[in-house]
């Protein structure tokens, strides 16, 4: 399933980023930036309206998308229709003009990542994340005119802004009309899973009961997790048994 839609029209193209960006680590769903690039390259319009309602997603896909849009010759107007969080808050700033709905939300935080390996691998990942943050800082400071030292605390704190606050901070240019925020409620589990620590409790929208398909997906995920846990336990037991055998073989008489 694609997290974006591109409508290529003669005079003005429309791009809708209305979901989690990139491939979903947990489900394998979503589409990479490579597919986005292929469709964007076919856009010949002189103007692009970029609509965003996204909790963020894969940071490297997000940076790639920002760069692809930045390199496009069209004049871009960004419309933050609901949530522009995490890497989506970076993509939003590609617009020559950024308009945020009066009841929308804008969130910025430090990039995060996962790594499995030794201490050197961990340090290497930390270095990569620092470089990613440096790239993000260039975008934030370029739009707002703020110094990096003024933006770093906002990233450290996981800062959520309403339209008035985002305008005052210089991240948007204009406040638009009020939008229906009901669709944003579905992002709450995604943001919680991603480790967001300060999700506002005033995100509009009624909670929907899970559909039979949702319940089936949850059951399948639970079953796969149970299998992984069982396999992990068996691996640990085998490892302990192997260590005990080795200890017995090399133990002094």
Tell me, yes or no, if 222 is annotated catalytic: no
| Active-site option among 86, 112, 211, 232 | 86
| Active-site option among 51, 54, 89, 109 | 109
Which ranges of 117-211 would DSSP assign to H, the alpha helix?
119-144, 148-156, 163-169, 188-193
Q: Residue 136 and residue 31: Cα distance in Å, rounded?
A: 22
Q: Residue 155 and residue 120: Cα distance in Å, rounded?
A: 25
Count of beta carbons in the 10 Å neighbourhood of residue 156: 10
N residues, the chain = 253
Please, are residues 47 and 74 in contact by the beta-carbon 8 Å criterion? yes
Q: Residue 115 and residue 117: Cα distance in Å, rounded?
A: 6
Q: Residue 100 and residue 51: Cα distance in Å, rounded?
A: 10
Helix (H) or strand (E) holding 37: helix 33-40
Handedness of CA 36, 101, 58, 217 (dihedral sign): negative
Which ranges of the chain would DSSP assign to H, the alpha helix?
33-40, 59-71, 87-92, 119-144, 148-156, 163-169, 188-193, 212-250
Tell me, yes or no, if 109 is annotated catalytic: yes
What residues are labeled active site? 86, 109
């Amino acid at each position: 399933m694609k997290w974006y839609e591109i409508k290529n029209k003669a005079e003005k193209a429309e791009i809708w980023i209305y979901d989690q960006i990139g491939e979903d680590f947990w489900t394998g769903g979503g589409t990479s930036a490579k597919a986005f690039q292929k469709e964007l390259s076919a856009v010949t319009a002189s103007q692009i309206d970029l609509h965003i309602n996204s909790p963020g997603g894969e940071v490297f896909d997000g940076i790639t998308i920002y760069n692809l849009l930045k390199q496009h010759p069209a004049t871009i107007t960004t419309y933050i229709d609901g949530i522009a969080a995490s890497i989506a808050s970076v993509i939003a700033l590609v617009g020559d003009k950024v308009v945020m709905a009066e009841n929308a939300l804008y969130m910025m935080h430090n990039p995060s990542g996962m790594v499995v390996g030794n201490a050197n691998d961990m340090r290497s990942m930390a270095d990569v994340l620092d470089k990613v943050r440096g790239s993000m800082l260039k975008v934030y400071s370029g739009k707002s005119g703020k110094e990096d030292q003024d933006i770093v605390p906002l990233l450290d704190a996981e800062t959520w802004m309403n339209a008035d606050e985002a305008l005052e901070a210089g991240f948007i240019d204009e406040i638009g009309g009020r939008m229906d925020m009901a669709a944003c409620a579905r992002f709450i589990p995604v943001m919680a899973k991603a480790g967001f620590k300060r999700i506002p409790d005033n995100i509009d929208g009624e909670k929907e009961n899970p559909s039979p398909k949702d319940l089936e997906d949850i059951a399948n995920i639970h079953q796969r997790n149970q299998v992984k846990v069982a396999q992990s336990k068996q691996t640990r037991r085998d490892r302990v048994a192997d260590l005990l055998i080795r200890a017995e073989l090399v133990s002094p008489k």
